[in-house]
């Protein structure tokens, strides 16, 4: 699906990752090619990071998102919206809540205080409540490509004039329940699970000076198993609509998560091998689920140029984005 031609820019970003809290820690880790020993965010505790008020039953993914948004230094505004990507929401709370309903004396003998964490848009709602962001609020659940889905959604909201700026992000927690679900669905995962959160501030392209311009975002669904063909069509159509020649792309950041061989084969055939990043964010940070594509964008933001981001979800969704990164 193609997106509106209206351009948007990234004016700020933040990250909570295995490299630490803040975009500076993430950028430093990427520039120096480090691979953390632990796939979790070091020493992270929501109550310690955010205070004891309203955090007693907070799920970990929401805590990661709130800290990342705090680092973005947003100001309360009626015209600022939020769109976050997710895979399944808080998997541990869903599992515990469902177990209690099935094993209790009555199906309704469950902890009502846990129910808000079961709702998939809990994290996006908490981001808006904590920081007074009263614009449109949405959650997109497209797994590995969720970061690009959120970016496309933000682009549509801004093009329609529904908000002046949008917080576009994703959060994913590393938990035993998430790992168990993944291993039972697809066998041993190619990469260990990681976690983190990334937040971008995006607005219409009249804002200057931006960190980057989002030239185009494209996605489609592969229904016949031909991931390579679907991704090739997605990238080719996006470049044609954006009127960008393949030679103008200076760097390619593949997701390298699900179907990595088909993804890289497609990119090599279309654009050659020399511009493909040899070490992906998945190789460095593990499978970070819905945050993966935004970690790719965070990595791209560390070096100026025209960057192609590609992402492939295991169920056949493919997406790509083209960004022009400014020298800052």
From the centroid of its chain, how far is CA 147? 3
pLDDT one-digit tens code per residue, 85-133: 998 777 777 777 788 888 888 888 888 877 777 788 999 999 999 999 9
Q: What is the mean pLDDT of residues 184-211?
A: 78
Architecture, CATH, for domain 212-325: 3-Layer(aba) Sandwich (3.40)
pLDDT one-digit tens code per residue, 226-253: 899 999 999 999 999 999 999 999 999 9
Burial bucket for residue 91 (CB in 10 Å: 0-12, 13-18, 19+):
buried
CB 91 within 8 A of CB 181: yes
Question: Residue 274: its pLDDT value, please?
Answer: 86
- Say whether the peptide bond before residue 131 is cis (omega within 30 degrees of 0): no
Q: Which residues contact 23 (CB under 8 A, 6 or more apart)?
A: 13, 14, 15, 71, 298
Asked whether residue 328 carries a pLDDT value surpassing 60, the answer given is no
Question: Residue 4: its pLDDT value, please?
Answer: 52
Where are the CATH 3.40.47.10 domain residues in the chain? Answer: 8-204, 212-325
Residue 168, φ and ψ in degrees, nearest 5: -120, 120
Domain spanning 8-204 has what CATH number? 3.40.47.10
Residue 289: both structure tokens together: 């689920």
- pLDDT grade, residue 201 (50/70/90)? very high
CB atoms within 10 A of CB 48: 11
- In 3D space, the residue among 6, 81, 24, 34 whose CA is nearest the CA of residue 301 turns out to be 24
Alpha helices in the chain (DSSP H): 23-31, 46-50, 60-72, 91-103, 115-118, 122-131, 146-159, 176-186, 227-242, 260-271, 281-285, 292-300
- The conformation of residue 136, written as its DSSP 8-state character, comes to -
Cα 147 from Cα 194, distance rounded (Å): 16
Cα 171 from Cα 156, distance rounded (Å): 21
CB 248 within 8 A of CB 271: no
- In 3D space, the residue among 293, 250, 292 whose CA is nearest the CA of residue 272 turns out to be 250
Q: What is the mean pLDDT of residues 147-170?
A: 95
| Cα radius of gyration rounded to whole Å, the chain | 19
Q: Which range in 66-75, 200-209, 229-238 is most confidently predicted, on average pLDDT?
A: 229-238
Looking at every residue in the chain, the average pLDDT score rounds to: 88
Cα 129 from Cα 137, distance rounded (Å): 11
Q: Which residues contact 282 (CB under 8 A, 6 or more apart)?
A: 191, 255, 256, 257, 288, 292
Q: What is the mean pLDDT of residues 71-91?
A: 87
Asked whether residue 188 carries a pLDDT value surpassing 50, the answer given is no
- pLDDT grade, residue 37 (50/70/90)? confident
CB 195 within 8 A of CB 281: no
Cα 3 from Cα 113, distance rounded (Å): 39
* Three-state DSSP class for residue 318: strand
User: Model pTM?
Assistant: 0.89
CB atoms within 10 A of CB 183: 12
């Amino acid at each position: 699906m193609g997106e509106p031609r209206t351009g948007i820019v990234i004016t700020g970003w933040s990250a909570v990752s295995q490299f630490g809290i803040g975009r500076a820690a993430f950028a430093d880790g990427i520039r120096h090619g480090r691979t953390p020993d632990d796939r979790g965010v070091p020493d992270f505790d929501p109550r310690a990071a955010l205070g004891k008020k309203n955090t007693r039953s907070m799920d970990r993914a929401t805590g990661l998102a709130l800290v990342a948004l705090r680092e973005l230094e947003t100001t309360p505004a009626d015209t600022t919206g939020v769109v976050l990507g997710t895979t399944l929401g808080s998997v541990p709370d869903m599992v515990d809540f469902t177990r209690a309903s099935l094993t209790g004396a009555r199906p309704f003998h469950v902890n009502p205080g846990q129910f808000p964490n079961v709702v998939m848009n809990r994290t996006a709602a908490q981001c808006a409540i904590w920081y007074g962001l009263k614009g449109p609020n949405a959650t997109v659940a497209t797994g590995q490509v969720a970061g690009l889905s959120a970016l496309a959604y933000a682009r549509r909201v801004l093009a329609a004039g529904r908000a002046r700026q949008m917080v576009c992000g994703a959060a994913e927690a590393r938990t035993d329940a998430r790992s168990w679900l993944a291993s039972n669905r697809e066998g041993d995962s190619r990469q260990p699970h990681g976690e983190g959160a990334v937040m971008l501030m995006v607005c219409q392209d009249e804002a200057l000076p931006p960190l980057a311009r989002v030239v185009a975002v494209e996605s489609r669904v592969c229904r016949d198993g031909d991931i390579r063909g679907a991704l090739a069509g997605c990238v080719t159509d996006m470049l044609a609509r954006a009127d960008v020649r393949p030679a103008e792309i200076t760097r390619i950041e593949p997701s390298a998560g699900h179907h990595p061989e088909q993804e890289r084969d497609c990119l090599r055939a279309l654009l050659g091998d020399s511009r493909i990043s040899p070490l992906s964010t998945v190789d460095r940070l593990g499978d970070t689920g819905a945050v993966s594509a935004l970690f790719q964008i965070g990595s791209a933001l560390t070096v100026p140029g025209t960057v192609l981001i590609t992402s492939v979800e295991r169920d056949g969704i493919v997406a790509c984005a083209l960004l022009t990164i400014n020298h800052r």
